[in-house]
Amino acid sequence: MKVWTAADVARKVIENEELFILDVRNPDAFTDWKIEGNHFEYLNIPYFELLDGVEDILSQLPTSKEVLVVCAKEGSSLMVAEMLEEAGVQVGYLQGGMKSWSTYVEPIKVSDLSNGGELYQFVRLGKGCLSYMVIAQGEAALIDAVRFPDVFIQFAKSKSVEIKYVLDTHLHADHISGGRKIARLTGATYYMPPKDAEEVVFDYAPLQDGMKITLGSHATEIRAMYSPGHTIGSTSFIVDEQYLLTGDILFVDSIGRPDLAGLAEDWVADLRETLYTRYQMERKELIVLPAHFMAIHELNENGTVAKKLGELFVENHGLQVEDAQVFRSLVTDHLPPQPNAYQEIRQVNMGKITPDDEQQVEMEIGPNRCAVR
């Protein structure tokens, strides 16, 4: 029997391959959040319905491809997989279950930059989070890092660069930021927007509109652009005059929600101003790199999530609303459920509470919900 890792499944997703998943979690958990792939097939049967045997579902399983059994943490999927193997099914199970899928991060190169620089996107497929590392002349800047320091520190070592700057586009509410911890471990400077930091209980360097960070000796420039709306402090970054890192303001297929601090009515005008005025003033050739994606179809062929700003002004439904009142209704009346434990996650990112690793896992379980539907 094959033991699948989250990395194995990630390659299936990124390379657009086929996979049949037997998910043995409860139907509500499966409906809320599952492993997504463009060419994946699914069968959801709760494991407790299979305790007396798997004979009744054998006709629903493919004979020409391997079956991957998935549960929450591994135990139930291993049990079901063993039963299927005894029945002659080509089967494997996901090591660590959906817990491991939620935490896996895949680094993918976006492109080379001027003066020998490089830009990498770190794709957290199970959560829809996107982090970035900009590299030039032995130095690196990390943007919107998720809570796994080793992923980024080891990657920087593999590229022989020192993490000098760690930046968060805003105070995150759907996932725990790794920025502050990574800065502490590496000696890097940690930046965040001061308007999002009024309640934080730690020291930070303030991100100011127009501020520039240069990696190496005049090699690659990162320019901050104040862009409120998702939060009052949300800040975008223009990297090497080629890329626009939009945080949770603008996504490939949607726009950011303004309600996660309970201030949707107050912030919706800022959101519209950023999307319809600030971004409109930028070059349409800039390539948008968001901090999240919502659905698997947003991934490009190489696994990255990226699209030209000009194309989004034509295609993204959140950028097509001419009437300001209609826009207000769009982003305040049609919001999806709020992220799991988002209030507690905000408290963690303010430094007010310090949950242990298991508590952090539970806080983040489930899909991200940063976008307006």
- Give the pLDDT of residue 259: 65
Model confidence over 74-115: pLDDT tens digits?
999 999 999 999 999 999 999 999 999 999 999 999 999 988
Where the chain has pLDDT below 70, the residues are: 259-264, 334, 339, 373
d(CA 138, CA 59): 56
State yes or no: is 370 an active-site residue.
Answer: no
Q: Which two tokens stand for residue 244?
A: 């626009």
Model confidence over 193-237: pLDDT tens digits?
999 999 999 999 999 999 999 998 777 999 999 999 989 999 999
d(CA 284, CA 93): 45
- Give the pLDDT of residue 87: 95
CB distance 103 to 126 below 8 Å: yes
The catalytic position among 67, 70, 71, 215 is 71
Structure-derived torsion over alpha carbons of residues 235, 115, 305, 272, reported in degrees to the nearest 10: 30
d(CA 82, CA 50): 12
Q: Which two tokens stand for residue 6?
A: 């989250």
Task: Evaluate the CA torsion angle 295, 297, 302, 306 in order and state its sign.
Answer: negative
- Give the pLDDT of residue 333: 78
CB distance 135 to 159 below 8 Å: yes
Question: Which H or E run contains 110?
Answer: strand 106-112
Closest CA to 279 of 327, 214, 229, 213: 229
Residue whose token pair is 């319809």: 276
Non-local (6+) Cβ contacts of 32 within 8 A are 366, 367
User: Where do the domains of the chain lie, and which CATH numbers do they carry?
Assistant: 2-101 (3.40.250.10), 105-364 (3.60.15.10)
Closest CA to 102 of 358, 353, 285: 358
